[in-house]
Amino acid sequence: MDTRERIAIVGFMGSGKTTLGKKLSEAIGHRFIDLDELIEEKSRMKIKDIFKYFGEKHFRELETRFLKRLAQEKEIVVSCGGGIVEKEENRDILRENFFVIYLEIPFQVCLKRISGDENRPLASLETDRLLEIYRKREPLYREVSNFVLTEDHNIEDLIELLKAR
């Protein structure tokens, strides 16, 4: 299987996964799917309400369920929620079924972008706690990724890489 048929983008909240995903999918002619949006659509609830009424654990279960479904699809670019790497099961699914791009953006940049965002339940956490989460996830994003894209990286190079099969 050519894993580039199925691409996943991981990275912290506010790293720009959705923007990158849309750009990439357009460039290579894949369908773009935002995993958070898919969960909201299928459960007919906003993420913040899923967290509020059913808790984070339930949200994580939904994440795994839909990630598994997407692992069966072809020619897709999936932008994952920042917490996707928390569960080992998700990391295995990503590694085995996707070409994974880690969008590595400095914490302070992400923080600026997410602060005050009421649609992101974790964005209201204290900065110290968020930094702790960032540091804990950083090696996990790296561990599942096939390609790391940093702020000053040229997206065109990545597009060429994805097109060259």
Q: Work out whether 21 is an interface residue with ligand S3P (CB under 6 A).
A: no
Buried-state track 8-33, b at ≥16 Cβ within 10 A, e below 16 = bbbbbbbbbbeebbebbbebeebebb
Stretch that binds ligand S3P, among 97-105, 116-124, 139-147, 155-163 (CB under 6 A): 116-124
Count of CB atoms within 10 A of residue 68's CB? 13
Choosing from 13, 94, 105, 149, the residue that interacts with ligand S3P (CB under 6 A) is 13
Nearest distance from C-beta of residue 3 to ligand S3P, angstroms: 22
Whole-angstrom CA distances from 63 to 74, 89, 124, 127, 138 are 19, 11, 21, 25, 19
State the first-to-last Cα distance of the chain, in angstroms, to the nearest integer: 12
Return the closest-CA partner of residue 82 out of 36, 47, 50: 36
Choosing from 120, 134, 144, 158, the residue that interacts with ligand S3P (CB under 6 A) is 120
Closer to ligand S3P by Cβ: residue 105 or 122: 122
How many residues lie near ligand S3P (CB under 6 A)?
A: 10
Q: Work out whether 121 is an interface residue with ligand S3P (CB under 6 A).
A: yes
Q: Provide the binding-site residues for ligand S3P, judged by CB under 6 A.
A: 13, 17, 36, 47, 81-83, 120-122
